[in-house]
Amino acid sequence: MKTISSLHDPAAPALGLSPEAHQHLGRDFLWGVATSAYQIEGAVDVDGRGASIWDSFARQPGRTVNGESGAVACDHYHRWAEDVAMIADLGVDAYRFSIAWPRVQPLGLGGFNAKGLDFYERLVDGLLARGVQPHATLYHWDLPQHLQDLGGWGSRDTAFHFAHYADLIARRLGDRLASLATHNEPWCTAVLGHEQGKFAPGERDPQLAAQVSHHLLLSHGLAMTAMRASAAACPLGIVLNQVSVSAASDSAADQAGARSEYARFVRWYMDPLFLGQYPQDTGIAHYPEIRSGDMALIQQPMDFLGINYYSRTWISSAEPAVPAPKALGETDMGWEIYPDGLRELLVGLKRDYALLPPLFIMENGMANADSVSDGRINDSARIDYVRRHLEALAQAKAEGVDVRGYFYWSLMDNYEWDSGYAKRFGLVHVDYASQKRTLKDSALWYRDGIASLRALTAGRREEALHG
């Protein structure tokens, strides 16, 4: 197979970045790739794993495209060693994955499952042995079904069960993890899972969704407290999906619409975590029941904040609505490609939250139907997408935002939830029939780009040292 260096001029700037971006992303910047348990592991009935809400949801007719589920996915549970070797060969610094709660605690309460815990021990040690930092997330949407039967995230008790599970993981893996995040994208669990019915458990109840968001935040606070005690050296945080919001015009209605959308999406999580209160200007009627002491618990100091950015939200109150311009087009998800939104978002966070910890882009990427020719998987659109977002990220750094790393979503094509397997986000192509992994052009570009950034940085260090 050809490598990207034989496709591109080796003297060209690393990752095609501008000299300014080089300067900001060259030194001490962490490069990674990300996945999540249910989307890649498969092996849902193996070694004592309990059922999760996604197993049940995907079985319900009409919930996912073609009724597809993560039952096999990328079979990563059995192929983890090969996948770790592939990650190491990409030359990235870090790998972000999630732990399947039902694999390590089948019912979500009570006994833990030694075989499930062993799997993550092997994965973490395997990564470390290959020089790749392991970054784990405790909850990426696969709640044990048993807890759902007891009320799921709508029940306050689930927050306490989660803290117990978090504590156990911190004790077992905290000495070797490079970071441990409580939740991935709580907005999705609350809104897509409990208001829009698109994700498990498929509820459509806005009041329940508000309560769920509060219980997720509460569980984060409880888990942070428990984990601080048991894994003092491990950096702890949370990962939020965020957007930039653009108003279609200067009209009062569009401007107000954009402000309340931002309050519902971004501030709904940021304000409790960093200001100790929910925003009041969301324009929504549904607020959760909050008990005394909850907000203080939620507002725990964090070592890092993970941001997932894919696109912007466009607000038009006109009839008919003014469509988003989509000057750079859209991805296969129908999401507008809008890299400058990443810069806007990050600069806004720095402006609004004095207590902001160091940031990591924990997810950014595009779904793209890649074309295969001559055994090569051409995904130049993905390369362009990432390069533009890296430029935006470098600009945010130039404007003073403390961003320490970038994880591409995703390492490999995988189960895209209700969209099934048709949407391909991977740097690595997966042939689901054979489970063969093939590096796409973007993977080669990422690998060679990271390597030459490092070489440049090393060169600059040499120059600085020896003149």
- Residues known to be catalytic: 185, 363
Q: Residue 291 phi/psi, 5° resolution?
A: -95, 160
Q: Which is nearer to ligand IFM, 66 or 292 (CB)?
A: 66
Q: Which is nearer to ligand IFM, 226 or 243 (CB)?
A: 243
Q: Residue 114 phi/psi, 5° resolution?
A: -55, -40
Q: Residue 246 phi/psi, 5° resolution?
A: -120, 135
d(C-alpha 151, C-alpha 74), whole Å: 31
CA distances from 331 to 60, 381, 426 (A): 28, 9, 13
Report the number of secondary-structure helices (H) and strands (E) in the chain.
18, 12
Q: Express the helix, strand and coil content of the chain in percent, nearest 5 each.
A: 45, 15, 35
Q: How far is the CB of 137 from ligand IFM (least distance, A)?
A: 10
Q: Which long-range contacts link 446-450 to residues 24+ away (Cβ below 8 Å)?
A: 446/15, 446/31, 446/90, 446/92, 446/386, 446/408, 447/4, 447/89, 447/90, 447/91, 447/92, 448/3, 448/4, 448/5, 449/14, 449/15, 449/16, 450/14, 450/15, 450/31, 450/90, 450/91, 450/92
CA distances from 60 to 53, 64, 318, 419 (A): 11, 8, 38, 14
3-state secondary structure of 139: strand
- Report the interface residues with ligand IFM, using CB under 6 A: 36, 39, 185, 308, 363, 409, 416, 425
Q: How far is the CB of 252 from ligand IFM (least distance, A)?
A: 33
| Burial class of 129 by CB neighbour count within 10 A (0 to 12, 13 to 18, 19+) | exposed
Q: How many CB atoms lie within 10 A of CB 157?
A: 12
Q: How far is the CB of 247 from ligand IFM (least distance, A)?
A: 25
Q: Which is nearer to ligand IFM, 262 or 421 (CB)?
A: 421
**Can you read off the two tokens belonging to residue 145?**
């079904």
3-state secondary structure of 29: coil
Q: Which is nearer to ligand IFM, 415 or 445 (CB)?
A: 415
Q: How far is the CB of 187 from ligand IFM (least distance, A)?
A: 10
Q: How far is the CB of 188 from ligand IFM (least distance, A)?
A: 7
Whether omega for the bond prior to residue 323 falls within 30 degrees of 0, making it cis, is: no
**Secondary element (H or E) of residue 431:** strand 428-431
Q: Which amino acid would we find at residue 161?
A: H
Q: Which is nearer to ligand IFM, 103 or 259 (CB)?
A: 103
